Structure 1
Amino acid sequence: MRASAAERIGNYTLLAVFGLFALGPIVTILAAALGPDDAGSGSSGFGNFGKAWEIGHFGTYLRMSVAVSVTVVVVSVLLSILSGYAFGTMRFRGAGVLFYLFLIGIMMPTEAIVVPLYFDLRTLGLTDTFWAVALPQVAQSVAFGAFWMRAYFRSASRSMVEAARLDGAGSWRTLWQVLVPPARPALVTLVVLVFMWTWNEFLIPLVMVTSESLRTAPLGLAFFSGQYTSGFTLLAAGAVIVGTPVVLVYAFLQRHFIAGMLEGAVRE
């Protein structure tokens, strides 16, 4: 049934209003970042980004965030594929109980586990290291990734799997050559979500590391704001620097990301 002209106008009006709410803060931050420096340093425009980059040491923070994000995405996506394949296509003793244990990782907030996790990692001598930031986020991402990939593998074509097995393909070959290639939208969606969550994570780096060289970009921005509370322009420039990588990743992968989300919605 086609929508009437009044319904289309109402839909577009509603979308425009929500679009203004979403874009308003972004435009405000960009305008502030490109405006004259209110701290009185004389910089303006793109010079604010250069000054914020130099004073805030964002080069170091961004390198740390990139290293953590790439490590977490690669390891968690690989483990999510393997665990999702096991939960979605195999039947073994204790599968249900083990899967619900995975789901606890989704339901448990970071604030509830960060303190005992800190003492566990300190006992292992891992605090104030790269792995103290990366490993907890791998665990949290695998919890969601296993749930996400299990749903995909459970809804995958059984005829493809049966045909592969009739041709003599084992479980490993069936996974990587039959099931994974068509799963690209679901995998890209998982990559984007895990990257976004990892990049924006603040509490774990704050608790786990003290060295400046191990600070991630959001944590570095928090320390930068403490130094420049009187200069909103440089703080806005720093916020744009920190937020740009997530925007670029989403813009580059948005077609596959939306396809994966719609595919999951249709299957549900």
Structure 2
Amino acid sequence: MTAELMIGTDLAAEMVAKAAERAAALQEKYGVQPCLATVLVGDDPASATYVRMKQNRSKKAGIGSRSVVLPAETTTDELVAEIRKLSEDPEVHGILLQHPVPAQIDERAAFEAIDPGKDVDGVTMLSFAAMALNDASDPGFRSATPGGIMRLLAAYDVPLEGAHAVVIGRSPILGKPAGMLLLASNATVTYAHSRTRDLPELVRTADVVIAAVGKANFVRGDWLKPGAVVVDAGYNEGNVGDVHFEEASEVARLITPVPGGVGPMTIALLLEQTVDAAEAQLGQCPGS
């Protein structure tokens, strides 16, 4: 068996094109350009590259960008103050704090300084609660990577109802919300992580595997049930994911490549949700 690739590039391009149309409509109707503010603390090269990529994609989608770059020695209080300024700025519609942040910063305090109405990366407690409760009356924003994964699974007609999904990873902005969104789609969800006992045996029971553990080539091909759907949400040095791609491709039915799978979907959903936020802040029903 050779797995079919779940490519995110084309679907992401469609999403960005639609976001661009909606952004142009807002510009024409209200004279307002949706704006995404990015906050980067320190000079980590990978983080700086991610921020530039998001800014470039924003420009192509007709979404304005504002960049705030703070020194590595920034304190929690200083970062929170900067984020609150953006939260209070009516010209900013979405806020992205590039993570991880330096060790001295309380990342959760920084996330919670983001106005929930501008939390287009889905990192606040309110957004997590909305995903967990699946409340249609107050949907909040989906965490960008898990939300992108769900769109990709839907595009490839992956049946989730009744399926057993194993999420390897428990990050509050990736693993945990991914499980909540899968549960809302009526999958049976098991959370696992690098310290889970008998992890390979557990993974072999999964119809859908979400790898988000942050370790290169962590999930091996012989861990997988034949015909499983494998989503690699990891990104490690050298363009390597959390799944051993060559091994897994011989067992899985569908698999995401790294790069070109989940990554483009993350950015596309971030931009889409920035336009959603701008529409809501202008009193317009998002997506209408």
Which TM class, normalised by the smaller chain length?
Answer: under 0.3
Structure with greater helix share of residues: 1
Q: Looking at CA atoms only, which structure, 1 or 2, has the larger radius of gyration?
A: 1
TM-score (normalizing by structure 1): 0.26
Tell me which of the two structures has the higher relative contact order, counting C-alpha pairs closer than 8 angstroms and 6 or more residues apart: 1
TM score, norm. by length of structure 2: 0.24
Structure with greater strand percent: 2
